[in-house]
């Protein structure tokens, strides 16, 4: 049996239903699927887009490592992680986590764990591109994201 | 020879995305490496001014500043990650 | 401003991406979307389908009440609840919960809360239809689902 | 007159999905109602044999067995829910 882990780093958008169907069609025994989608948001009305830089190679590896860690901790039937890079405008998808399990709490907890680790461990960096055409600043890491990792020790 | 790769504002401040350099024998840990790089010019000095915030990966795996470089092929320096 | 609650009780299937897009297009300020999908599963290889009975009228009302309770407890930008009825075969969707928030933990917790309450408070009942053509038994409520409600007191 | 509606195995055992009945004045609470219905025939007696597991809604809202019926228009009896 192959491990039910799928990770992708891509410029293109993704489709949730397609990803869930792929998981469920591979395994008729799945009862609960949890997804987390992170979207590009425009808090101040000044954002034209986010430009996402990543570390090719390590991004994929790190996502595999994070997914593998979740499989060790929870009884999961599948994990899918997709992270986009390049230019992403407000309202568009940035990241997707899908967890499948017979047990809904396992699916919820694993998805939450995966997001906390993707935020702080996967080598991606966001920079703002402003509506006035100027390249804005690099998005600062948030202490709250770092603190979130402590929950899972 | 080790390949160094830089990302985000570390890359911008150093002014290049990667380079191959020879390290003197005295550079044994990542902390040594950061000290060594700071001597290479103003861009490096600015980029690595606060070494505590610099994240490092050896051969595409996260590591600590106290870790030995050993026979690393690729060392990456970057700011805290902001994906997700 | 209208409350961002959508609840539907329907025989037809649903599409996750469509539901998320509807939420996100109504509000460009959404950063995190969590979904829970409950699927029909066939544990023993004997299940042809589940037949879901519901209490028309009360099912919709109860889903509105549960969604309203979640909005009081967490800072949510949107809640969508969809529950199907009728005949559903293994691998098909049964229920969908979507929560949107600026804060990913609020979205995760609210989705988990909503599922716990849908399971034990929304007036739906599952009966098995077996592959040999026989009408099987009504699915028993599980103590673990009842116990799950205690978490949210 | 109050409308009674039944679901799942309560409906099956009673043998109908709904009915309108007149309640005597002595039936004041849901518990009284369940006792009263048990007298109406074997199907009712079997359906309501273990009253503790019967869930009840008055006017489409969950209620307790100790709740007063008052001027309820619709009372629903059903087993524990198994949606989701």
Highest average pLDDT, of A127-141, C14-28, C84-98, comes from C84-98
The confidence score (pLDDT) of residue C2 equals 55
The confidence score (pLDDT) of residue A2 equals 55
pLDDT 10s digits, A66-122: 999 999 999 999 999 999 999 999 989 999 999 999 889 999 999 999 999 999 999
Question: How far A63 CA lies from chain B's nearest CA (Å)?
Answer: 11
**What share of chain D in percent tops pLDDT 70?**
100
pLDDT 10s digits, D13-22: 999 999 999 9
Q: Which of A26, A33, A94 to mutate to test the interface with C (most CBs of C within 10 A)?
A: A33
Question: How far B69 CA lies from chain A's nearest CA (Å)?
Answer: 18
Averaged pLDDT, C20-38: 87
**What share of chain C in percent tops pLDDT 90?**
73
The confidence score (pLDDT) of residue C3 equals 60
pLDDT at A1 exceeding the cut of 60: no
* Nearest beta carbon to residue B84 from set A95, A127, A138: A95
| pTM greater than 0.80 (yes/no) | yes
Please check whether residue A84 touches B, CB under 8 A: no
Please check whether residue C136 touches D, CB under 8 A: no
The confidence score (pLDDT) of residue B23 equals 96
Q: Which residue has the higher pLDDT, C144 or A8?
A: A8
Three-state SS sequence of chain C: CCCCEEEEEECCCCCHHHHHHHHHHCCCCCCEEEEEEEECCCCCCCEEEEEEEECCCHHHHHHHHHHHHHHHHCCCCEEEEEEECEEECCCCEEEEEEEEECCHHHHHHHHHHHHHHHHHHCCEEEEEEECCCCEEEECCCCHHHHHHHHHHC
ipTM above 0.90, yes or no: yes
Average pLDDT value for chain A: 92
- How many A-C residue pairs are in contact by the CB < 8 A criterion? 95
Please check whether residue A81 touches B, CB under 8 A: no
**What share of chain A in percent tops pLDDT 70?**
97
- The Cα–Cα gap between A44 and C28 comes to 11
| Residue A43 pLDDT grade (very low, low, confident, very high; cuts 50, 70, 90) | confident
Contact yes or no, C with D (3+ CB pairs under 8 Å): yes
Averaged pLDDT, C119-127: 96
| Residue C28 pLDDT grade (very low, low, confident, very high; cuts 50, 70, 90) | low
Averaged pLDDT, A43-66: 95
- Residue from C114, C67, A20 nearest D84 by CA: C114
Question: C101: domain CATH number?
Answer: 3.90.1170.40
Q: How many domains does chain C have?
A: 1
Task: Find the domain containing A90 and state its range.
Answer: 5-150
Instruction: Write down all domains in chain B, each with its CATH number in brackets.
Output: 2-78 (3.10.20.30)
Pull the structure tokens for residue B74. Answer: 């690729």
pLDDT 10s digits, C96-112: 999 999 889 999 999 99
- Residue from C70, C63, C69 nearest C121 by CA: C63
DSSP H or E stretch at residue A5: strand A5-10
Q: Say which DSSP state B48 is in.
A: T
Torsion of CA D57, D63, D64, D68, to 10 degrees: -90
Give A148's contacts in chain C (Cβ within 8 Å).
Answer: 105
Per-residue pLDDT of chain D (84 residues; tens, 9 = 90+): 999 999 999 999 999 999 999 999 999 999 999 999 999 999 999 999 999 999 999 999 999 999 999 999 999 999 999 999
Contact yes or no, B with D (3+ CB pairs under 8 Å): no
Q: Which residue has the higher pLDDT, A133 or B44?
A: B44
Question: How far B1 CA lies from chain A's nearest CA (Å)?
Answer: 20
Hey, which bits of D1-84 come out as E strands? Answer: 2-6, 18-21, 55-58, 61-63, 74-78
Sheet holding C135-138, edge to edge: C86-88, C47-54, C124-130, C135-138
* CA terminus-to-terminus distance, chain D: 34
pLDDT at A3 exceeding the cut of 80: no
* Nearest beta carbon to residue D83 from set C122, C127, C140: C122
């Amino acid at each position: 049996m192959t491990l039910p882990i799928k990770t992708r780093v891509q410029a293109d958008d993704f489709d949730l239903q397609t990803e869930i169907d792929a998981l469920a069609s591979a395994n008729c025994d799945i009862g609960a699927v949890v997804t987390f989608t992170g979207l590009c948001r425009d808090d101040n009305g000044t954002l034209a887009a986010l430009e996402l830089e990543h570390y090719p190679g390590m991004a994929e590896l790190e996502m595999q490592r994070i997914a593998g860690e979740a499989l060790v901790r929870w009884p999961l039937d599948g994990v899918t992680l997709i992270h986009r890079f390049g230019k992403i405008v407000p309202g568009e998808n940035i990241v997707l986590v899908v967890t499948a399990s017979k047990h809904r709490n396992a699916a919820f907890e694993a998805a939450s764990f995966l997001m906390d680790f993707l935020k702080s461990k996967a080598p991606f960096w966001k920079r703002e591109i402003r509506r006035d055409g100027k390249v804005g600043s690099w998005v600062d890491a948030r202490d709250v994201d770092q603190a979130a990792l402590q929950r899972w020790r | 020879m080790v390949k160094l790769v830089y990302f985000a504002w570390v890359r911008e401040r150093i002014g290049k995305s990667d380079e191959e350099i020879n390290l003197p024998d005295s550079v044994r840990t990542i902390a040594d490496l950061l000290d060594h790089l700071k001597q290479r010019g103003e861009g490096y000095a600015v980029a690595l001014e606060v070494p505590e915030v610099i994240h490092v990966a050896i051969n595409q795996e996260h590591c600590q500043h106290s870790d030995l470089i050993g026979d690393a092929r690729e060392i990456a320096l970057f700011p805290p990650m902001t994906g997700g």
